Amino acid sequence: MKKKPETPKMFYATRQIIAAADGISQTCKDDFVLFYANLVFSREKHSKETHYNGLDEWRRFVYEMIHHALHKHGFVNGNPEANAKNKDATFWNEVYGIAGSIIYSPYLVTDVANHHSSAYERNKALICELGLVIDSMKLNNVCVEPKK
């Protein structure tokens, strides 16, 4: 099993989201925290099987939430000029990007080649990456872990 790096270099896609977060609305921040919480609370339901088993269900789960946020915050497909002026839309477009490239995250820990990693492993890596974004946005007072 690959070991998680002690202090991983920050993933490029995570840096892009952090850069895009500057100046976003409170509603956008609230929606992002809700998205993050949904990933955390759903982590045990995703397939731990590798080689693409259960990936469609995980992708559907993740991208439905992202597409809803893109639409809500005014993203216009095919209109880069309008999107460039809309900080919330730009932010969610960057979140969309990390979901598709999560197999390159230094937080992805798997026994197989990264592109064969399980939905569970990808979700866990996405939670780690987005947790860095939460911290950078000073939203780290957000509690998404259930109390025991």
Do residues 83 and 92 make contact, with C-beta atoms less than 8 angstroms apart?
Answer: no
Domain membership of residue 112 as a residue range: 26-136
Tokens of 113: 């080649």
| Digit-coded pLDDT (tens) for 81-96 | 998 899 999 999 999 9
62 inside domain: yes
Domain count, the chain: 1
14 within domain boundaries: no
Residue 145 lies in a domain: no
Predicted structure pTM score? 0.85
Condensed to tens digits (0 to 9), the pLDDT of residues 8-47 reads 567 889 999 999 999 999 999 999 999 999 999 998 888 8
Tell me if 112 is assigned to some domain: yes
C-alpha separations of 50 from 15, 57, 135, 136 in Å: 28, 13, 30, 32
- Kindly state whether residue 84 falls inside one of the protein's structural domains: yes
Q: How far apart are CA 42 and CA 109, in angstroms?
A: 18
User: Could you tell me the two tokens for 130?
Assistant: 């987005």
Nearest 5 degrees, angle CA 20-CA 73-CA 103?
Answer: 50
Would you state the structure tokens that stand for residue 135, as one six-digit string? 């911290």
Q: Answer whether residue 45 is part of any domain.
A: yes
